[in-house]
Amino acid sequence: MKILAALIALTTTAAAQSFNVDVGANLIIYPVPSATYGGAAAQPGVWNASISPYSTSLVRLDGSASAVTTSSTATGAYGWPFGPITGDDYNLVADMQDLGSSMVPYTWTFSNLQDGSYVVYTYAFAPDSTTARTRVSITGSSDPAQVVGGAWTGSPHALGITYALHHVTVSGGTLVVDVRSSTGSGSINGFQLVYTPSATPFCFGDGTGTACPCANTGGAGRGCANSIQPAGGQLAGGGNVSVGNDSLVLTGSGIPNGPGLYFQGTTQLGGGNGVLFGDGLRCTGGTVIRLGVISAASNTSQYPRPGLDLPVSLKGLVAAGDVRGYQLWYRDSDASFCTSSVFNLTNAVSVTWTP
């Protein structure tokens, strides 16, 4: 019951879009790892069994059904019930998809994923051979193709020995992993897909935290209501939050046309619930950096604008591991709407920057 309760607690936005997949020959000799097994990703949760021909409907980490499916252009399977590997490590790597030794390219396709950023762990270890190698690549990933294989080094898993690691932004719900033998017979043991939201919203004017100044409560997950949008302005973030490959875009919507300041802070004000400021709530403070003043058109704006603004990480002077808050402070010129301040703010988003 404790394990089940822990798994139910995994149903956050990230966990609901993350998956563990054990690829193999059969479930009789080779069961899937237990739900407490986190693998290289340190991601415990239910492991899906994808058995030849590998067309599988996936469940989430908590065991609930999802719309995500897998398919593969290779159908071979192989098992190796020998050697020193034991426990859940054995359950994951002892049986596998057999890619053969002809270096023919094959694909794994994950369909109906939530769009966004993922870290993909591809297990490609041959337990029966210290010389066999498998090449793994993902189109659109910021990481290069990787060759995996070698002698078992024991738990925990080792990058380049038992798995490849790729960062990728999924668009259109489809992720394609390209695999082939590099030396000897190629092998695929499984996958872990870790959904990594680019920006996590916080500090809302929807009544869940600090009350808006004029009872101008906004919609769920948004800022306080403004003069043109009763639901309030909303800030969202999308793209890679890597200082080495920054594609983060901050987008404000539901805001009056006119100027607005995108800014970065180092702390969350009001315990993350915000403090009163103008017609809304200021959510982030500490060391503040002004990213840029952008004029909204059609009630929306974004930072950075392609070809015009520095990336967020450069303008914000961030380093890997930094946690920063972002918010849009915008003009609302209707002085009769709420206070006489004629400005308001969106909700905020929090970003943890990666290397």
pLDDT per position as a tens digit, 283-317: 999 999 999 999 999 999 999 998 999 999 999 99
Averaged over 178-191, what is the pLDDT? 97
pLDDT tens, residue by residue, 32-83:
999 999 999 888 999 999 999 999 999 999 999 999 999 999 999 999 998 8
Pairing mode of beta strands 280-282, 275-277 = antiparallel
- Amino acid in the structure at residue 35: A
Paired tokens of 26: 């059969």
Residues 200-352, CATH architecture: Sandwich (2.60)
Paired tokens of 92: 């994951």
Q: What is the pLDDT of residue 26?
A: 82
- Amino acid in the structure at residue 341: S
* Cα 195-199-202 angle, rounded to 5 deg: 120
Distance in angstroms (rounded) separating the CA atoms of residues 88 and 216: 54
Averaged over 151-180, what is the pLDDT? 93
Number of CB atoms found within 10 A of residue 305's CB: 11
Q: What is the pLDDT of residue 10?
A: 40
Paired tokens of 215: 């009872």
Q: Which residue has the tokens 């990480």?
A: 313
Number of CB atoms found within 10 A of residue 178's CB: 16
Q: Which residue has the tokens 């920057």?
A: 353
Percent of the chain with pLDDT over 70: 95
For residue 15, report the phi and psi dihedrals to the nearest 5 degrees. -65, -30
Distance in angstroms (rounded) separating the CA atoms of residues 57 and 63: 12
Peptide bond into 53 cis (omega under 30): yes
Number of CB atoms found within 10 A of residue 101's CB: 13
Name the segment(s) of the chain with CATH classification 2.60.40.10: 200-352
Question: Does 140 score more than 80 pLDDT?
Answer: yes
Q: What is the pLDDT of residue 329?
A: 98
Q: What is the pLDDT of residue 14?
A: 63
For residue 315, report the phi and psi dihedrals to the nearest 5 degrees. -65, -35
Q: Which residues contact 117 (CB under 8 A, 6 or more apart)?
A: 167, 168, 169, 170, 195, 196, 197, 198, 239, 240, 241
Question: Does 9 score more than 80 pLDDT?
Answer: no
Q: What is the pLDDT of residue 4?
A: 39
Pairing mode of beta strands 19-24, 47-51 = parallel
Q: What is the pLDDT of residue 8?
A: 37
Fold of 2-195: Jelly Rolls (2.60.120)
pLDDT band at residue 256 under the 50/70/90 scheme: very high
Name the segment(s) of the chain with CATH classification 2.60.120.430: 2-195
Question: Does 30 score more than 50 pLDDT?
Answer: yes
Question: Does 2 score more than 60 pLDDT?
Answer: no
Question: Does 129 score more than 80 pLDDT?
Answer: yes
Q: What is the pLDDT of residue 103?
A: 93
Averaged over 232-239, what is the pLDDT? 90
CB 130 within 8 A of CB 151: yes
* DSSP secondary structure letter of residue 354: B
Distance in angstroms (rounded) separating the CA atoms of residues 126 and 83: 12
295: left (phi over 0), alpha (psi -120 to 50) or beta: beta
Peptide bond into 355 cis (omega under 30): no
Question: Does 258 score more than 50 pLDDT?
Answer: yes
Paired tokens of 129: 């051979």
Averaged over 101-115, what is the pLDDT? 94
